[in-house]
Chain A
């Protein structure tokens, strides 16, 4: 039987070093629902991040990213609150997210863009700037298709008792740690996109470019989920170096021990440093904005870390993390072996 779950999210979103040098604002945006003061969340959870393209013709992509994140959360949230979908019927949920949600997100994002243009038409300054940087062709293009001006990616994770859904359009990375402790990229990069190209909410029929991964949760959640914009992965020497990030975060979370209090301490350790790390990574790496969110479920982490410690040390009485745990271990020794979790 599943215990009640409690989730911890930490995140940071930093302005890229190259953007600082060029005086360009941060184009990344992140938000999750529900919001709590201690960032300990009950299910369901919706988290979204977006990266505005930043190309000169996407001169309002910062707003586009903000619209993308808010639209995703509002669109998905209504199924939990207003429409009261039967979330135990996984077939319906899968259909909903594969067939309906992407269309609704794209249409609502476009509505919000249209409203913004209506309230604040492109200024002479914005157009002159674009003309100087990219020529008349770019002006003609945005007149024909103004959504390009707001172009942004979208990555989202939706977590409930029985499932996790990952949605992605455009670049960026969603990683999980498998129960075996390996990093896994949930959604693979588009083979056709290289260099700085990306799919986008502004692409025509953008809902067709969404990639969805639907994962049924039978017993336990993945120990850790990591979502990031492409400035993060582009800063590492290779894929392997990037995949290592989620494993290292898990190590830090487990460095204090495997009980709830210690796990939360581990999260806090990351939380204190994350912004500084991301600034350094942007400076030494891609120079791009970087946004990272790390999400973990405390029970699953407890179980994973306990198993890991047990198998690492080989014998239960060698687990020496804290005094409290030593006491706990002694208690275990007085119990039947069946109560001790050893892989």
Chain B
């Protein structure tokens, strides 16, 4: 009689989840000079590149969500969606720029639960062409009051010269990493691809790192982004 195979002890096994949030400006000013179309296109084009990075690390499951702020703040993809099932929904530009409220909503999602403590550092990508019209500081404080908010990989892209670099820098929270400035659609696509793939790579690195101070801190440095300088303006610049 063959002996019954003993099941592997423990409950379900799973790869480590990496939660990725696009936080996108869809305010009225994004309607000018094709900015919103360029943003939609840039995010859409970055997805296959992000998928490629995840495929190279078979021990990570990448979940994507999209939050837009323009007039009001809405999740266009509210559920954490596996990258393989992710479908980007085009944004339309309208209203003012409630960036602070957007960060508050992200903070809610980074609490434990719904986040798991075994997750990888979440990635937050903030893209904006203007200045917050609400209480940005309050939103940022709420985000930073959540441990996973503080530990998140935060990167930002400014669209055009009117973007508030100061608030984007505050969002990043690391003076060595500057917001990237996109002045035309090609640059925007290039930067969205770059920040999303770099952030995934760094967040999903499985190696443990010693914490010297015992303080909660962003544990991620992104050498690829530290070397990027603003590209000189060209004839293609439209923003």
**A residues bordering B, Cβ < 8 Å?**
16-18, 21, 51, 53-56, 58, 134-135, 148, 151, 153, 170-171, 189-200, 202-204, 209, 230, 233-242, 244-246, 248-249, 252, 269, 273, 277, 280-281, 284-288
Bound state CA distance, A55 and B15, in angstroms? 20
Q: Are B208 and A281 closer than 8 Å at their CB atoms?
A: no
Report, nearest first, the 3 A-B pairs whose CB atoms are least far apart: A241-B11, A287-B59, A248-B9
Q: How many A-B residue pairs have CB under 8 A?
A: 151
- Verify A280–B8 contact, CB threshold 8 A: yes
Query: A252 CA to B212 CA in the complex, in Å?
Result: 41
- For residue B209, CB closer than 8 A to chain A, the reply is yes
Contact residues of B between 181 and 238, Cβ < 8 Å to A: 203, 205-212, 214-216, 219, 223
Question: In the docked arrangement, what's the CA distance between A153 and B211, Å?
Answer: 11
Complexed CA–CA distance, A245 and B6 (Å): 13
State whether the Cβ of B137 lies closer than 8 Å to any Cβ in chain A. no
Indicate if B16 sits at the interface (CB-CB under 8 A): yes
Known A-B contacts: A55-B209, A192-B211. Give 8 more (CB < 8 A).
A21-B58, A148-B210, A194-B147, A197-B210, A204-B212, A241-B11, A241-B13, A248-B7
**Complex Cα spacing A267 to B214, Å:** 39
A244 touches B9 (CB 8 A): yes
Contact pick for A58, options B57, B116, B210, CB 8 Å: B210
What are the residues of chain A within 8 A of B208 when measuring CB–CB?
51, 53-55, 151, 153, 170-171, 196-198, 230
Interface contact B59-A241, CB-CB below 8 Å: no
8 Å CB interface, B121-163 against A? 121, 147-148, 151
In contact, B210 and A244 (Cβ under 8 angstroms)? no
Cα distance, A135 to B226, chains bound together (Å): 11
The contact of B207 among A55, A204, A235, by CB within 8 Å, is A55
Q: Kindly state the separation between the CA atoms of A58 and B205 in the bound complex, as whole angstroms.
A: 14
Query: Quick one: given A189-B117, A192-B215, A194-B147, are A281 and B210 in contact (CB under 8 Å)?
Result: no
CB pairs A–B below 8 angstroms (20 shown):
A21-B58, A51-B208, A55-B205, A192-B214, A194-B147, A196-B121, A196-B206, A196-B208, A197-B151, A197-B209, A198-B210, A233-B118, A235-B13, A237-B11, A238-B116, A241-B13, A285-B13, A286-B15, A286-B206, A288-B206
Q: Is residue B175 within 8 Å, beta carbon to beta carbon, of the partner chain?
A: no
On chain B, the residues within 8 Å of A248 by CB distance are 7, 9-10
B16 A286 Cβ-Cβ under 8 A = yes
Identity of the chain B residue whose Cβ is nearest the Cβ of A16 in the assembled complex = B206
Q: Which residues of B contact A244 (CB under 8 A)?
A: 9-11
Interface contact B219-A196, CB-CB below 8 Å: yes
- Expressed in whole angstroms, the Cα–Cα distance for A198 and B208 within the complex equals 7
Measured CA separation A296–B212 after assembly (Å): 35
Residue of B nearest to A19 (CB): B206
Contact A199 B13, beta carbon cutoff 8 Å? no
B212 touching A236 by the CB < 8 A rule?
Answer: no
- B151 and A194 contacting across the interface, CB-CB below 8 Å: yes
Among B147, B210, B223, chain A packs the most CB atoms within 10 A around the CB of B210
CB contacts (< 8 Å) of B7 on chain A: these are 248
- Contact present for A236 and B14 (CB under 8 Å): yes
Within 8 A of A (CB), among B15-38: 15-16
Across the interface, do B211 and A203 meet the contact criterion of CB distance under 8 Å? yes
CA distance A112 to B165 in the complex (A): 49
Q: Are B151 and A195 in contact (CB under 8 A)?
A: yes
Q: Which residue of B lies closest to A55 (CB)?
A: B207
A204 / chain B contacts, CB cutoff of 8 Å: 212
Which A residues are CB-close (under 8 A) to B57?
A: 18
The complex places the Cα of A285 from the Cα of B208 at a distance, in Å, of 16
Q: A24's closest neighbor in chain B, by CB?
A: B207
Min CB distance, A118 to chain B, in Å? 22
Residues of B within 8 A of A56 (CB): 207
State which of B16, B214, B223 has its C-beta within 8 Å of the C-beta of A135.
Answer: B223
Question: Whole-angstrom distance from the CB of A10 to the nearest CB of chain B?
Answer: 12
- Chain B positions within 8 Å of A230 at CB level: 208
Task: Mark interface residues in B90-129 (1 if CB within 8 Å of A CB, else 0).
Answer: 0000000000000000000000000011111100000000
B55 vs chain A, min Cβ distance (A): 12
Determine which residue in B6, B7, B116 has the highest number of CB atoms from chain A within 10 A of its CB, and name it. B6
CB-CB contacts below 8 Å: B47-103 with A: 57-59
When distances are taken between beta carbons in the complex, the residues of chain A under 8 Å from B12 are: 236-237, 241
Expressed in whole angstroms, the Cα–Cα distance for A53 and B212 within the complex equals 13
Check A281 against B151 for contact (C-beta < 8 Å). no
Question: Which residues of chain A are within 8 angstroms of B119 by Cβ–Cβ distance?
Answer: 195
| CA A285 to CA B116, docked complex, whole Å | 15
